[in-house]
């Protein structure tokens, strides 16, 4: 199945499920056109759906099939709301399989009836008939759907092949797409804690288990080389990566390159992984002279997020994750950090998924996710990639980006204060020279000055901002102790 990269997102479901409302919202979030097939039918026939039905249901169905097929076979990839009965057509079902990620928008029958009973829809005139039709269509919807949900957020996650659910790691046998063999690659520490449970969930599909060094040490070519040599999967196999962002970055890179690319599923076990690193297909390892210098875009066939895995996460790792959560909340313009953990994970994951689907290869809006990261990477280089946790570097980087935003982009000072209160960033003792050199060698630099992401206000990032060199130097300096 996989994500809706270059594919339509098609919404199916019964009358009154909210396909038009939710579809329009999803389209907005993904930056795609929204197509309501019923409206297309009306435009094409110059009459209303109700009037076509009056002629005969067959007249309407013929027009519907023609418009649905035309839409599904056309590009650019859109968000498409199909009529409630469209899935009765074999041709439409085949086109859905070929051209779309299909999401069933679920609605209880009582609610559906409440919503449509006075709307004059041809098939919602009689309650008993309406309820019978609901029962009759239900199995068909379920058979056609790649995923189900109720809200725009559910649809966005489904479109990105992201599954969020408490206990999901115990259902991996079903949640890892396909039925073929699986190799499990786990962070060595996480393997000791959650490995047995995950192995048993994968059941007979599991053909081999491998470990990567815990944490950032996974992101080396030497670790990848060991894995390339150990793997015995064929091209139809799937690599399952269990661990934090370091593990999913490295294992995803191995999946991108092994046999010229095999499918992989990410099972993130840290807050950073669940809200950020395991979503969107960026994989990478480090080179001695810099972080993430070698990598590939390789979107997971599914990202399976189980917030229950976070129960064993040490407090400092959780704090690291909060920096990414605060970043996400600032970009989304919502205080996502105030939510309870499971909901926080879900909302942040949905935000990142939408942005990455909008811009899978980071050519435009996705760059906003680098808010604070230019400075964070410089600090990590200044720490020689050993003594400064990524999350702490991000907290400091956010502080620098927000200070510059106050000075140069009109950001209200209270936002900076709030973030400082939340993350309490303390200057880091890193090598000043190395940090400055890294800032101006940052891979996002053009013409020597780094292009920054600033914030005009929460929810309104500015990307590609160039500031005078002295201002950027000064902002970095203020983050360094001593």
Residues that bind ligand NAD (CB under 6 A): 187, 189-190, 193, 214-216, 219, 243-247, 249, 269-270, 272-273, 276-277, 280, 282, 292, 309, 312-313, 317, 320, 390-391
- How far CA 413 is from CA of 4, 267, 325, 454, 456, in Å, comes to 39, 38, 20, 13, 11
Within 8 A by CB and 6+ apart from 377, the residues are 291, 393, 397, 438, 442
Nearer to ligand NAD, 51 or 226 (CB): 226
Nearer to ligand NAD, 104 or 251 (CB): 251
Shortest distance, CB of residue 166 to ligand NAD, whole angstroms? 14
Nearer to ligand NAD, 149 or 195 (CB): 195
Nearer to ligand NAD, 67 or 283 (CB): 283
Strands (E), 290-330: 290-297, 302-305
**Under 8 Å between Cβ of 96 and 141:** no
Nearer to ligand NAD, 316 or 417 (CB): 316
> From CA 453, how far away is CA 476, in angstroms rounded?
14
Nearer to ligand NAD, 270 or 353 (CB): 270
Shortest distance, CB of residue 373 to ligand NAD, whole angstroms? 8
The alpha-helical segments, DSSP class H, found in 46-126 are 49-55, 57-73, 90-99, 109-116
Nearer to ligand NAD, 108 or 314 (CB): 314
Q: What are 17's two structure tokens?
A: 């499920």
Shortest distance, CB of residue 279 to ligand NAD, whole angstroms? 7
Shortest distance, CB of residue 187 to ligand NAD, whole angstroms? 5
Within 8 A by CB and 6+ apart from 284, the residues are 219, 249, 250, 253, 291, 292, 293, 294, 295, 296
Indicate the SS3 state at residue 426: coil
Nearer to ligand NAD, 87 or 224 (CB): 224
> From CA 134, how far away is CA 147, in angstroms rounded?
19
Shortest distance, CB of residue 250 to ligand NAD, whole angstroms? 9
Q: What are 447's two structure tokens?
A: 């013409």
Indicate the SS3 state at residue 326: helix
> From CA 203, how far away is CA 227, in angstroms rounded?
21
Shortest distance, CB of residue 292 to ligand NAD, whole angstroms? 6
Shortest distance, CB of residue 272 to ligand NAD, whole angstroms? 3
Shortest distance, CB of residue 321 to ligand NAD, whole angstroms? 7
> From CA 270, how far away is CA 277, in angstroms rounded?
9
Nearer to ligand NAD, 106 or 249 (CB): 249
What are the percentages of helix, strand and coil residues in the chain, rounded to 5? 55, 15, 30
Shortest distance, CB of residue 190 to ligand NAD, whole angstroms? 5
**Under 8 Å between Cβ of 345 and 307:** yes
């Amino acid at each position: 199945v996989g994500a809706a990269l270059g594919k339509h997102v098609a919404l199916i479901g019964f009358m009154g499920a909210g396909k038009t409302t939710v579809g329009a919202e999803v389209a907005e979030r993904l930056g795609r056109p929204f197509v309501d097939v019923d409206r297309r039918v009306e435009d094409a026939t110059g009459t209303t759906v109700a009037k076509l039905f009056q002629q005969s249901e067959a007249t309407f169905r013929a027009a519907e099939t023609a418009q649905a097929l035309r839409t599904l076979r056309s590009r650019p990839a859109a968000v498409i709301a199909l009529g409630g009965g469209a899935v009765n057509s074999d041709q439409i079902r085949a086109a859905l399989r070929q051209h779309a990620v299909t999401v069933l928008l679920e609605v209880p029958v009582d609610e559906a009836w409440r919503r449509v009973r006075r709307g004059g829809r041809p098939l919602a005139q009689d309650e008993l008939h309406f309820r019978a039709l609901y029962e009759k269509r239900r199995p068909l919807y379920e058979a056609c759907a790649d995923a189900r949900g109720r809200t725009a957020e559910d649809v966005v996650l489904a479109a990105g092949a992201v599954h969020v659910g408490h206990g999901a790691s115990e259902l991996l046998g079903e949640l890892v797409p396909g039925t073929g063999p699986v190799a499990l690659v786990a962070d060595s520490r996480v393997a000791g804690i959650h490995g047995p449970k995950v192995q048993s969930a994968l059941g007979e599909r599991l053909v081999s288990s491998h470990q990567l060094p815990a944490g950032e040490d996974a992101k080396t070519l030497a670790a990848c080389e060991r894995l390339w040599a150990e793997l015995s999967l064929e091209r139809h196999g799937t690599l399952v990566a269990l661990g934090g962002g370091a593990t999913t970055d490295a294992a995803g890179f191995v999946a991108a390159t092994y046999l010229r690319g095999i499918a992989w599923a990410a099972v993130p076990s840290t807050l950073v992984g669940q809200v950020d690193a395991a979503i969107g297909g960026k994989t990478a390892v480090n080179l001695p002279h810099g972080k993430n210098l070698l990598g590939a875009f390789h979107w997971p066939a599914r990202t399976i997020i189980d917030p229950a895995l976070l129960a064993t996460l040490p407090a400092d790792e959780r704090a690291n994750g909060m920096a990414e959560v605060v970043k996400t909340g600032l970009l989304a313009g919502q205080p996502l950090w105030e939510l309870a953990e499971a909901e926080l994970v879900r909302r942040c994951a949905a935000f990142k998924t939408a942005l990455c689907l909008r811009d899978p290869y980071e050519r435009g809006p996705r760059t906003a996710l680098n808010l604070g990261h230019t400075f964070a990477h410089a600090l990590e280089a200044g720490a020689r990639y050993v003594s400064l946790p990524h999350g702490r570097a991000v907290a400091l980087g956010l502080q620098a980006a927000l200070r510059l935003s106050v000075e140069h982009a009109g950001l209200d000072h209270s936002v900076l204060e709030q973030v400082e209160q939340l993350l309490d960033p303390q200057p880091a003792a890193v090598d000043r020279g190395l940090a400055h050199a890294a800032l101006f060698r940052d891979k996002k630099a053009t013409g020597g000055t780094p292009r920054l992401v600033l914030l005009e206000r929460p929810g309104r990032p500015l990307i590609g901002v160039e500031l005078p060199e002295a201002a950027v130097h000064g902002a970095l300096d203020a983050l360094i102790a001593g």
